[in-house]
A and B are shown apart, each in its own frame.
Chain A
Amino acid sequence: MPWPLYLALKQLFPTGRRFSFFTFISILGVALGVTLLIVSISVMGGFGREIRNMIVNTQGEVQVRAFGLMNDPQAVMRAVKDVKGVVASTPFAEGVVLLQYENKPAFPAIQGVDMERVEGVVPLAKYVQPAGAFDQLDDDRVILSTQLARTLGVRLGDKVSVYSPLLLEKLKADEILIPRELEVCGIFEIGHQQLDSSVVIVTLRAMQELYGLGRAVHGVNVKIADGADPDRVAREINRVLPVDGVARSWMDANEEFLFVLQLEKNMIFFLLLFIIVVAAFSVASSLLIAVVRKTREIGLLGALGASPRQVAACFCYQGVIIGVGGTLLGLVLGFTVVHFRNEMVAGFTRLTGSEEALARFYQFSQLPAHLAFGDLVLIVGSAITVSTLAGLLPAWRAAKLKPVEALRAE
């Protein structure tokens, strides 16, 4: 081991002492910054991933929408099928309806899905309870999202009345308004508050009848192969699209939302990085004091044959060791907090009585977490770099000391 590293370790972890207060405080400062970064960026990453999954699992990676109605979805699907990277496609129709159960109304979004094709594109069945209920969906049945069912007090087997905008036309023509009665055959829960509270799923044919679409649909959802670039596939589809419409990747369709999400993540990173910067200032200050306190020892090292560069390295290493130690401790603390995040949040919300607020405002029943490898590298790299920089000024001061003057210092 080079002696500057050896001496740096000894300065931070002196022989005969179980505990160095300076080392503990310095490492803890960096560790707290890293912990907060890990937790915050993980949760932000988790939100991002949940949103991505929610979009992809309900819409597919690419969505083709007609400007108006898509009268020949088969032609679109045939064209899309030949695009490289496309695995499957399914038509859909969507809108808003008035849903009524025992005089309790609701205005959920309604999705009409092609029962023969939808499972090949979006895995809706796995979000529907009881198991196998999705396969029972037919033109006289409906699947309600969990919160909606709870709000209306609907149970499996109950019948709900569905009023579509088409009925308004009948109302204008003084015709009798007869809602469509659909039996609830399943409950849908994806884990996203907005979708879980206001979505109903019916067959595409039922939806076409409710909206008077005939054979037309509103668009086609497309599943692409693993690893394929959704933006590229969308561009390719747009080249071959036989109707007046546009294909957009899920990222493109949600560009502004994703931009805001990334911006928030970046802002949180830079703000929390300042905790490490403040800790680094504290480390630099302590090391500068150490240089003054150890002036004669630094002189001794020079007198015994150490070069100024080696003396500087000794103090640089202290910054690096504090950075690496703080980062490792921060990673352990951070991942521990991330692991127990839901228990901690549950405890906190119980204390403050805000369990429902979390679900209502943050859209998720569980606090998601996901740390991308790139984010981890960025956090570790930043923490170690900032701590290393903290050792540079003291190192420079130490290297500048002349042994003869340092030994003479009072």
Chain B
Amino acid sequence: MNEPRTTGSVEATWLLQATGLHKSFLSGERRLEVLRGVDLAVTAGESVSIRGESGSGKSTLLNLLSGLDAPDAGEIRWEGAPTLAAERRGLLIGLVFQSFYLVPELDALDNVVLAARLLGKVGDADRARARELLRRVGLAERAAHVPAKLSGGERQRVAIARALMNRPKLILADEPTGNLDEGSGDAVIDLLLALCAEEGCALVLVTHNAAHAARCGRRLFLREGGFHTL
């Protein structure tokens, strides 16, 4: 288990504590044990990169950390709580995916606002926040464009703005540059790190790219179901 780096109340600074996570999947008649007792703790404002080979369980771990999937064994605590209801997940965690997952029928602004809309009524302040986020990701002029009219890099920037919409304390990014060319990928990582720093939220970045991983404060390597610090 990683120790929190802040002083003072130890429990209060943990955003996320995962202990002894096990997860396996059936592949035909074989059971593949992907995670074997993974421990991870994330404190407020820190950035953690997780690298690993394909099939090493990076995305599986991220699904467990986001509360979308449940571990076979082990425990996760989000701000000390052992459960994470869907609505609270929307407030606590911002998710960025490799495939962006923008709603094609909505324009960029509405895609960003959607994160707030799913959690309740949307007011002028929410729209202003979404416009501000689009400005910060460099898409102020493209707010009215639907995803089909945006490039891959632009779509991912909209997805990042959406992830930050509810002022989450933690961003979980699953290979956010996986579908982008090198230049766009670098730009997206620059943006992600800068915005997380500005917003004061922690970042867990799953990536194949060693250079991108190296820019995070803490670098972990997932292999054979467990972490290896680089």
A407, B101: Cβ atoms under 8 Å?
Answer: yes
The stretch of A7-15, A162-170, A196-204, A257-265 in contact with B is A7-15
Q: Taking CB as reference atom, which chain A residue is nearest B148? A: A16
Q: Determine how close the nearest CB of chain A comes to the CB of B137; give it in whole angstroms.
A: 18
A19 in the interface, Cβ–Cβ < 8 Å? no
B89 in the interface, Cβ–Cβ < 8 Å? yes
B86, A7: Cβ atoms under 8 Å?
Answer: no
Interface size on A, residues (CB 8 A): 23
B106, A305: Cβ atoms under 8 Å?
Answer: no
B146, A304: Cβ atoms under 8 Å?
Answer: no
Q: Determine how close the nearest CB of chain A comes to the CB of B81; give it in whole angstroms.
A: 16
A11, B105: Cβ atoms under 8 Å?
Answer: yes
Per-position 1/0 for B136-147, Cβ under 8 A of A? 000000001110
Known: A10-B103, A11-B105, A404-B68. A305 touches B119 (CB 8 A): yes
A3, B103: Cβ atoms under 8 Å?
Answer: no
Q: Determine how close the nearest CB of chain A comes to the CB of B172; give it in whole angstroms.
A: 10
B66 in the interface, Cβ–Cβ < 8 Å? yes
Mind listing 25 A-B residue pairs with CB under 8 Å? A3-B118, A6-B117, A14-B105, A14-B146, A15-B107, A15-B110, A16-B107, A16-B146, A16-B149, A296-B101, A297-B104, A299-B101, A300-B101, A302-B68, A303-B68, A304-B114, A304-B115, A305-B86, A305-B87, A305-B90, A307-B87, A310-B118, A404-B63, A404-B68, A407-B101
Q: Taking CB as reference atom, which chain B residue is nearest A3? A: B117
How far is B106's CA from A16's CA once the two chains are assembled, in angstroms? 8
A7, B103: Cβ atoms under 8 Å?
Answer: yes
B56 CB contacts on chain A under 8 angstroms: none
A14, B104: Cβ atoms under 8 Å?
Answer: yes
B99 in the interface, Cβ–Cβ < 8 Å? yes
A29 in the interface, Cβ–Cβ < 8 Å? no
A403 in the interface, Cβ–Cβ < 8 Å? yes
A25 in the interface, Cβ–Cβ < 8 Å? no
B199 CB contacts on chain A under 8 angstroms: none
Interface size on B, residues (CB 8 A): 28
Per-position 1/0 for B78-98, Cβ under 8 A of A? 000000001101110001010
A303, B66: Cβ atoms under 8 Å?
Answer: yes
A10, B106: Cβ atoms under 8 Å?
Answer: yes
Q: Determine how close the nearest CB of chain B comes to the CB of A167; give it in whole angstroms.
A: 85
Most buried by B among A14, A304, A307: A304
A304, B118: Cβ atoms under 8 Å?
Answer: yes
A304, B95: Cβ atoms under 8 Å?
Answer: yes
B99 CB contacts on chain A under 8 angstroms: 296
Per-position 1/0 for A1-39, Cβ under 8 A of B? 001001100110011100000000000000000000000
Q: Taking CB as reference atom, which chain B residue is nearest A12? A: B105
B146, A15: Cβ atoms under 8 Å?
Answer: yes
Chain A residues 310-360 with CB under 8 Å of chain B are: 310
